[in-house]
Structure 1
Amino acid sequence: MTSTAPVPDPSPTATTPASAASRGARSLARLGVHVVGDGVDVVVLASQASAVDLVLLGEDGERRTGLLRARHGLWHAHVPDVSAGTRYGLRVHGEWNPAAGQLHNPDKLLLDPYARALTGEVSYVPEIFGHHVTDAAATHHGLEVRDDRDSAPFVPHGVVLPASDPVATAERLAARPRVPWSRTVIYEAHVRGFTLLHPDLPPELRGTYAGLAHPAVIEHLRRLGVTTIELLPIHAFATEHAIAARDLPNYWGYSTLSYFAPEPSYATRASRDAGAEAVVAEVRAMVDALHAAGIEVVLDVVYNHTCEGGLDGPLLSWRGLDNTGYYLHDGGTPARYADVTGTGNSLDFRRQRVVQLTLDSLRYWAGEIGVDGFRFDLAVTLGRKAGEFEPDHPFLVALASDPVLADVKLVAEPWDVGPSGWRTGEFAPPMHEWNDRYRDSVRRFWLADAKALAQGGHGTPHDLRDLATRLSGSADMFHRFDRGPTASINYVTAHDGFTLADLVTYDHKHNGANREDNRDGSDNNLSWNHGVEGRVESGSPGSELRPVRRRSIRNVLGTLLVSAGTPMLTAGDEFGRTQQGNNNAYCQDSPISWVDWERTGWQDDLLETARHLLELRHAHPVMRPTRFAYGRPRSNDPFIDLAWFGEDGAAVEGSAWHNPYRRVLQMRRAGGAAANPRSAEGVAAPVRRDLLVVVNGALNDVDVALAPSRTQGWELVWDSVWESPRERHESAVVDGAFPDAGTVVPVEPLSIRFYLSR
């Protein structure tokens, strides 16, 4: 059944055509609702609508203003007597013809896609759907009958914000830390889960933006040594109706409701009570506080899909405004979405207005809020044109050349679930990329292959070539486009998957709390429980595994922080937090996901280890090279830039790389000449220290002849055998502080050592 809504008479409060047209000629490029003069300018995209109303919401009900049609699908007006703080929405008239993709329904109050603040939340009731639904929790089929119930009481409303202050914006941008990629260490965290249980925060600040800006939290980040905090989505989001039907929330926030408004539930109660403007101010204050501490803020952003789900989902914003203009369709009849994100819908980046919306949102967050960068969820979707990914897609070219975004960090999650969706290494500069091959290689060497050996050789371990490639920066993927190793975001854990502690505790996922019968989440964890599934307490059966598990954690952590590339840690991994074996805690706003700050002795030791490793990385450029090595001397340094040796101290060559049972490797990385090669007196400056990494992935002790050095010996600066860096001094007494090249040293099973040249 199809129906067409009549075009309403212009509202008496609307501007006259002449004044609107003259004003609109100057402002049609700026979509949304903005305070201008005695009221607001309004510009909305609804390319196939027959009429669009701006709805102002107050205690006395609705005030509607009919917008005027302009070119290219835009509707606009200047509406007087509207001030900051006013709640508003949109009602769109037009054809209801699902077969043609037309889903206009003026009974549904729609959120302005450009709303910079909002109030309220989505209530999953039948009224929020554009078609007739009797049970909001059920799977919905059949869009033929348009629903005529008003959704306004059950959906969020946009809030008009005052005009921005250009002076304050300029000051905020000037205060950016601008950490170079060569020194960047990323720390992925969830605003609520990271701070909710922090014992040093006042209760009213826990789980909030203000809590993240608290001195106790910032001090932890500074002492740890991270430079950049990457926040899981803080764009306003909604829980999808399928998750809500299980009485669970969308905890991670990968279900965007607004690309401009911050998520209100992360603000303090005081800010929420004060109004939407105060929520935005709290976000700005959080960014300012982190900047004052020298810490960058990167946002995880989800421009690939929205919270509206599939065609049978609720009518909240984009779908009711311009369904075929915003969403990717497969071109068939009846109209169907082309879902390359696995969420029910995908935004169509072939469309100019989708590209504009995304760029406008990024400019707002980088310019007016002052954040330092973005991590793009399922970024391949953003570069799809006619179904295929293109590194020179217009959106990616515009992103790289935009003057506002020129100096922010850009990171891609380089895959989606569409055709040919895995594209790691294929994004052009200035984009950096999550490196899932790095994750799998490190997990495989230290955990999955070690597990196979421990189980009597069940399965053939992989040879050392892949591990060596990842240690040296993944040139096989990131040498394209003349990018250096920092283009690789090296990580072993992230929000999706096991925590670092769970990687060494569980062979299998334990996702029962998600109420999906443990079907969700990856089965390819490459983890190792070391013989007993789950946690074991001191003194209980299996407690002898605890030290071995702790060493495995240190092996993985040390490998991450010595590898060429940009390392990323997951919040709480530095002191061994657990998610109780849940590797897909997307719907767990519970102790499963919250960071537990109460620590036992071994967790304090692990935290000291993480700090020590990051101190080494910051202090010694040789641990964070910015160029790929070539296995030969550099022009300013006669020493070979990168060399590999076996346990006998001889170079690893030829077939030795292909032996899957060879588990010992030495990597020597040249420090290079000092930045200032000669002093004012013309005396040669000292060479930066060289690095030697000794890896023993075998299950037995191995006597290793240390690789050649150009100095008088090697200084052992870290050994994963140590429960704490404090053991360094004890080891120096027992083993000698500076063993010479060629000295044979015993290296314990499943361990990694770092040496620096004297």
Structure 2
Amino acid sequence: MTPDLSMTEGRAAPLGATFDGDGVNFAVFSGHARRMYLCLFSPDGKTETHRLELRERDGEVWHGYISGLRPGQRYAFRADGPYAPKDGHRFNVNKLLLDPYAKRLTGHPEWHDALMGYTVGHKDKDLSFDTRDSAPYMPRCVVEDPSFAWGETTPPDTPIDQTIIYEAHVKGLTALHPAAEPKGTFLGLASDRMLDHLTDLGITAIELLPSQAFLNDRFLVDKGLVNYWGYQTLGFFAPEPRYLSQGQIWEFQHMVARLHSAGIEVIMDVVYNHTCEGDHTGPTLSFRGLDNASYYRLHEDQRHYINDTGTGNTLNLEHPMVLRMVMDSLRYWVEVMGVDGFRFDLCSTLGRTATGFDPGAAFFDALRQDPVLTRTKLIAEPWDIGPGGYQVGAFPPPFLEWNDKFRDGVRRFWRGDAGQSRQVAGWVMGSAQQFDHSGRPATASVNLITAHDGFTLADLTAYNQKHNMANGEGGRDGHGENYSDNFGVEGPTEDDAINAARARRRRNLMATLLLSQGTPMILAGDELGNSQGGNNNAYCQDNEIGWVDWPGADAEMLAFTKQLIALRKAQPILRQKRFLHSRERVSDGLEDLFWLRPDGAPMGVEDWQDDSRKMVCAEMRMASGTPNYGLETTAVYIALNAGEAVEVTLPKVSSGWAWSLGVDTARPGVEGETATRFTVAADSMVAFVLQPEARDG
């Protein structure tokens, strides 16, 4: 032990370890502990140099101040209290506990039975009590001064109707990139060549899979695998250590600053619905040992956990201190770390109360009144596995929502399923049937064809079945119904005709995504033709299966995706906040959406009821108040054809105007042709833009 340190009472706020220039204030919440201890460690983290009791307590917050401590100090807590699982309490002073507010962790727990609060293998199971010290197997918290010189860099603050999201994994995006250094890290993501790719592509926001510190599940480690995706949060304030090449939190801030300088916003995928501690048989790492009965939603028997998340536990956001932790975490990532928004994993869980899902739950109300967070982009994954958990369209403003109905409907339409034409018409126009209520904009629908969870775009056109054997679960994991189409051959083929058909289908799907009303989200690598070999659940594949295949990039698909993004940006009618309707607009009394048959006549009821119909044609208008086409009017005509080739008659236009081809998925790269009638090739999509006619001379 080093000489005794002098501890004064300190203060109850803020929570966590706060350096003030002279020393460090420590504050930690526990409503049921009897004693709380602060453990300090040597610079290498191996030796516990001090164990100091926090004797001061304001309500449910234990605190103390130590002069002379500096950033870099390693620390953790121990909590003493009742070990009574049947009463909801699992205190065990033998277990080293991470600070829920820790701004940096030195690494990850090393799996050992000593991490459990109970004796593994005991006849009483989790009702037994384990006396082994878990410290040798635990990482340490680190005191940080998170100040950062942002300079003149400012957040892009991109309007939501101009937003194009790119969902990416920090390591997966950079591991095989030839010039991203250091690979697999925040700094690698901020490298010049990576930024060049993102800006050239044209995306406006990157949505990062979990980047808060997370756990490698024991069952994965035992199989020689790891938690690759990161949906098992260990610390809600700390960046994931494996993405820090120098072990410093400024690396994350530098990445954000670099992305901002390129005009790209940073959205974090965050997991506040559960923690990595699992069910009643899981480890005691932090929350469970600090105050199990407060942090988690428990069954009536108090021993077991409510499991609306499928991960073993559910955070109790009805408790004010747990809600405070989540809100403090969100504000920290915005105000200190610089991020621009959040995608909330299993967001239905965050709105659960004792009576079920409530759009007016405490968490949603807290977000909606927060002056910091209301300026950010908030995206819900609108489901969980609990009763009544599927809530697409039910979230309150200003939430955007992942729209799996768009995903599945568009996939089924292009696969040629019967009766999908009338369904896809709704999805491409912003899914008004789900979101046109409560003043919500069309941009509330986050449209996606693919995401990290499921097939990539390339695999969607190459596999009918999932191929997940590498996950070690006998192929039982992952979605069973993917609405995919392998064109007659499972997996790679040398058949030129099949490969051409697959490429066109990929272009159709990407074009539908980027030319639909709503907020588009592209999965990183889809623009490059990236494949996961048919694995639709690569959550544990930190290898070539899960990484983006830069060496095998499809240059034609990349060029086509750039063409689509450029077209979307150039045509405001493709990204309206207000819903387009086949009826008069409130603003000027004009119609702005026309559903047409191929011959140019309006669609009738009998046309919509025809389940054999494979084609959808629409004209969208944006005008300033005149019923005739004029200089202040823009219009776009789109035709989606999942059947045989069909000639279409384009809408009549005023003299001096013409329909100019914006994109044709049957002829990637071709644009600018003018026409009054046009043959839409089989299994293809076209978009025409109304433009002034070219004049000679």
| Bucket of the pairwise TM-score, normalised by the shorter protein | over 0.9
**1:528, CA displacement in angstroms?**
0.4
Residue of structure 1 in register with 2:33 after alignment: 49
Distance 2:208 2:255 in 1: 12
Residue of structure 1 in register with 2:687 after alignment: 754
* SS, match of residue 423 in structure 2: helix
Structure 2 residue runs of 5 or longer lacking an equivalent are 692-697
- 2:584 corresponds to 1:584: no
Distance 1:463 1:413 in 2: 24
| Match for residue 637 of structure 2 among 681, 686, 692 | 692
Residue of structure 2 in register with 1:330 after alignment: 299
Q: What is the 5 A alignment of 1:342-361? A: 342-361=310-329
- The one-letter amino acid of 1:300's match is D
- 2:122 corresponds to 1:177: no
* SS, match of residue 718 in structure 1: strand
**1:689, CA displacement in angstroms?**
2.3
- 2:78 corresponds to 1:91: yes
- The one-letter amino acid of 1:506's match is Y
- The 3 A distance-change label for structure 1 pair 320 and 230 is same
Distance 1:57 1:42 in 2: 15
- 2:292 corresponds to 1:315: no
- The 3 A distance-change label for structure 1 pair 506 and 524 is same
Q: What is the 5 A alignment of 1:428-443? A: 428-443=396-411
Distance 1:685 1:642 in 2: 17
The answer to which of 624-633 and 368-377 deviates more is 624-633
* SS, match of residue 212 in structure 2: coil
- The one-letter amino acid of 1:182's match is D
**1:706, CA displacement in angstroms?**
2.1
Q: What is the 5 A alignment of 1:110-509? A: 110-133=97-120, 142-162=125-145, 164=147, 168=149, 175-202=154-181, 205-268=182-245, 271-272=246-247, 279-332=248-301, 335-447=303-415, 449=417, 461-509=418-466
Residue of structure 1 in register with 2:695 after alignment: none
**1:141, CA displacement in angstroms?**
7.5
Distance 1:354 1:565 in 2: 33
Distance 1:48 1:12 in 2: 28
The Cα offsets for residues 621-662 of structure 1, whole Å up to 9 and x where unpaired, read as: 011111112323447767520010011211012121111101
Scaled by the length of structure 2, what TM-score is found?
0.95
The Cα offsets for residues 489-513 of structure 1, whole Å up to 9 and x where unpaired, read as: 0001000000001000000000000
Q: What is the 5 A alignment of 1:7-26? A: 13=5, 15=7, 20=9, 23-24=10-11
| Match for residue 516 of structure 1 among 469, 473, 483 | 473
| Match for residue 504 of structure 2 among 551, 554, 569 | 551
1:105–1:130 contact (8 Å) kept in structure 2: yes
- The one-letter amino acid of 2:459's match is D
**1:671, CA displacement in angstroms?**
2.7
**1:69, CA displacement in angstroms?**
4.6
**1:70, CA displacement in angstroms?**
2.1
**1:354, CA displacement in angstroms?**
1.1
* SS, match of residue 91 in structure 1: strand
- The 3 A distance-change label for structure 1 pair 635 and 39 is closer
* SS, match of residue 527 in structure 2: helix
* SS, match of residue 373 in structure 2: coil
Residue of structure 2 in register with 1:705 after alignment: 649
Distance 2:114 2:552 in 1: 47
The Cα offsets for residues 350-404 of structure 1, whole Å up to 9 and x where unpaired, read as: 1111110000000000000110000000001111111511111111111111112
**1:162, CA displacement in angstroms?**
2.2
- The 3 A distance-change label for structure 1 pair 364 and 435 is same
- The 3 A distance-change label for structure 1 pair 342 and 688 is same
- The one-letter amino acid of 2:674's match is F
* SS, match of residue 118 in structure 2: coil
Q: CA RMSD in A?
A: 2.0
Residue of structure 1 in register with 2:516 after alignment: 563
- 2:526 corresponds to 1:573: yes
The answer to which of 746-755 and 254-263 deviates more is 746-755
2:415–2:642 contact (8 Å) kept in structure 1: no
- The one-letter amino acid of 2:600's match is G
Distance 2:116 2:555 in 1: 51
- The 3 A distance-change label for structure 1 pair 255 and 200 is same
1:672–1:687 contact (8 Å) kept in structure 2: yes
- The one-letter amino acid of 1:588's match is Q
Distance 1:462 1:685 in 2: 37
- The 3 A distance-change label for structure 1 pair 657 and 710 is farther
1:309–1:345 contact (8 Å) kept in structure 2: yes
Distance 1:445 1:62 in 2: 65
Scaled by the length of structure 1, what TM-score is found?
0.87
**1:38, CA displacement in angstroms?**
3.4
Q: What is the 5 A alignment of 1:588-607? A: 588-599=541-552, 603-607=554-558
Q: What is the 5 A alignment of 1:715-754? A: 715-722=660-667, 724-725=668-669, 727-728=670-671, 737-740=673-676, 743=677, 745-754=678-687
- 2:574 corresponds to 1:623: yes
The answer to which of 149-158 and 491-500 deviates more is 149-158
Distance 1:195 1:355 in 2: 34
**1:620, CA displacement in angstroms?**
1.0
Residue of structure 1 in register with 2:694 after alignment: none
**1:710, CA displacement in angstroms?**
4.4
Distance 1:198 1:710 in 2: 50
**1:414, CA displacement in angstroms?**
0.5
1:14–1:77 contact (8 Å) kept in structure 2: no
- The 3 A distance-change label for structure 1 pair 108 and 623 is same
- The one-letter amino acid of 1:62's match is T
- The 3 A distance-change label for structure 1 pair 710 and 301 is farther
* SS, match of residue 496 in structure 2: coil
1:499–1:578 contact (8 Å) kept in structure 2: yes
**1:524, CA displacement in angstroms?**
1.1
- 2:634 corresponds to 1:665: no
1:12–1:65 contact (8 Å) kept in structure 2: no
1:380–1:416 contact (8 Å) kept in structure 2: yes
- The 3 A distance-change label for structure 1 pair 477 and 519 is same
1:69–1:76 contact (8 Å) kept in structure 2: yes
- The 3 A distance-change label for structure 1 pair 385 and 636 is closer
Which structure has more helix as a fraction of its residues?
1
Distance 1:365 1:303 in 2: 14
- The 3 A distance-change label for structure 1 pair 340 and 141 is farther
1:448–1:527 contact (8 Å) kept in structure 2: no
Q: How many residues are aligned here?
A: 683
- The 3 A distance-change label for structure 1 pair 618 and 150 is same
The answer to which of 399-408 and 518-527 deviates more is 399-408
- The one-letter amino acid of 1:83's match is R
Distance 1:198 1:12 in 2: 51
2:309–2:385 contact (8 Å) kept in structure 1: yes
2:56–2:64 contact (8 Å) kept in structure 1: no
Distance 1:432 1:709 in 2: 36
Distance 1:48 1:589 in 2: 40
- The 3 A distance-change label for structure 1 pair 187 and 43 is same
